[in-house]
Amino acid sequence: MDITLAAGKASGHIHIPASKSQTIRALLIATMAGGTSVIRNPLYSADTEACMKACGQFGAQLVHEEGKITLSRTALPSKPFTVDCANSGTTLYLAVGLAASAGVPVTFTGDNQLCARPVGALLSSLADLGATVLDADRKPNIPDTPPFTIIGPLQGGRTSIISTTSQYLSGLLLAALTSTDTVHIDVPLLHEKPYVGITMSWLDKQGIQYTAAQDLSRFEVPGKQRFSPFDTYISGDFSSASFFFCAAAISGTAITVAGLDKDDPQGDKHILDILEAMGCNIVWNGPAVTVTGPVGGRLKSGSFDLNTMPDALPVLAVTACFADGRVILGNVPQARIKETDRIAVMYENLASLGARIEEREDALVIEGGTSLTGGVVSGHGDHRIIMAMAIASLRCRTPLTIEGIDAVSVTFPTFFPLLSTLFTPEAL
C-alpha cells in the first residue's frame, strides 16, 4: 500500500505504544522462566506477534486480556520444530537462548529480509560453547544467514564475539546462563551498548549472577541458572517516539509524548540530547516529555555519534535537512545491516528530494538549508525508512508519496493514525 502526504505542521499530545525491545525480552524471558508471568502494557505489532508465536512453539501458553498477557509454561517441547521469526531480528537473535536450553533441534527461519541478515558471529560463539549448529542442508556448518538449526545444551567455556549488532551479545548472554558450566565472553567490538544495557537490566532484576567489564568488553556468566516468573509493566518506546520528537523539531511546534520512562535504559532516548543540541527545548513532566522546535524549524548544525542509537539515523537524517549548516551523523556502520542498508537508502531517498547529502561508509553528511521537493520515494520494506519519510513530508514543497508502507506494522501499526491526529496542513 502507498500513501501520499501533504506539507504541514505537527503539534499536540500523544501516548506512545510500548517498547518493542522490552516486550520481546519480557516474552522470551518469561518463556525461559517457566511458571506463570504477567506482562502488562505489551506492544502488539508484527515483530512482537512473531515472538509470541515463537514462545508458543517453545511450550508457552499466552492468555491475552485487556492491557496484559499472562504467559505460562510447564515444559519444553520434546520433538524438533521450526521457528519462523518473520521480520523480527530481535526475536531471531535473542530466542537462541531458548533454543540452547530446549534440548531438541530448533530451526530458525524468517522472511526474505531476515534471511539476508548476518548471524554467523553469534552461531560461531554458540558452537564454541558446545551447541551443535547445522546449516540449511542440515549439515554441521556455521551459515552466514538463516535458516539454521541449533541443538543444545551449552557446555560452557570461552568465546569471543564481534558484536556488530548488540543483539548478538544479548542473545549470547541469555543463552549463557543455561549452560552446564561457566561461560566467558570476550567482546572486542560492541555496537549499540545501551541495548545490551536493556538485557543486563533484566539479568539484574532477575538476580542472575554475572560479571561484566566496565566497558562491556568481557563477561563471565556462571552456568545452571534460570529466570523466575515475574509481573512487569512495559513502558513506551523511545525509538517510536523519536519520529514525533523530530516532527516537532522541523515544524517549530510543541509535541508532548506520554507513556515514557526517563530512566529506561533504551538508547534512543538520547535523541533528545541531540535535538536539544540542535536548538529544541526539552521538558519532562513525569512520564511525558514535550519537545518544542525552534521557530521556523531552523535547527543548529553539528556532528553527532549515533553508535548507541542506530535506529535514529533515518529520522535524524530528515531532521538534518533543516539545519543551518552541515550535520554529520556518524559512527553508525551497523545501520547498513538492519532491515535495509539504511545509510544507502536514506541517501537515495533524500537525494531524490533535493537534499544535499553525502554517503560515507559509516555516516551520512547533510548540508542543511535546502528545501525538499516532494515526489515519490520507496519505503524499501523498512518501517523506520517509511516513518522517517513521513516526517519529511511535513516540509516538502509538493506532496510526497511513499510506496509500500505496510512494513510499519513491524513495530508501529498505529503510526499513521497517530500522526494524522497531530497534523495541520500548511502549504510551503
Active site amino acids: 311
What's CA 364's distance to the chain center, in Å?
A: 20
What's CA 20's distance to the chain center, in Å?
A: 7
Q: What's the burial of 1, exposed, middle or buried (CB within 10 Å: 0-12/13-18/19+)?
A: exposed
Rounded CA Rg of the chain: 21
Q: Rounded to whole angstroms, how far apart are CA atoms 15 and 346?
A: 27
Cell of 419: 500522526
Run of H or E including 12? strand 12-15
Q: Rounded to whole angstroms, how far apart are CA atoms 80 and 149?
A: 10
- Under a CB-based contact definition with an 8 Å cutoff, are residues 377 and 353 in contact? yes
Instruction: For residue 57, count other CB atoms closer than 10 A to its CB.
Output: 17
Q: Rounded to whole angstroms, how far apart are CA atoms 287 and 322?
A: 29
Strand arrangement, sheet containing 35-40:
60-65, 68-73, 35-40, 231-233
- Sequence-ordered strand ranges (E) for 47-135: 60-65, 68-73, 81-84, 106-109, 132-134
Cell of 351: 537525494
DSSP symbol at 407: G
Q: What's the burial of 119, exposed, middle or buried (CB within 10 Å: 0-12/13-18/19+)?
A: buried
Q: Rounded to whole angstroms, how far apart are CA atoms 322 and 327?
A: 10
- Under a CB-based contact definition with an 8 Å cutoff, are residues 426 and 8 in contact? yes
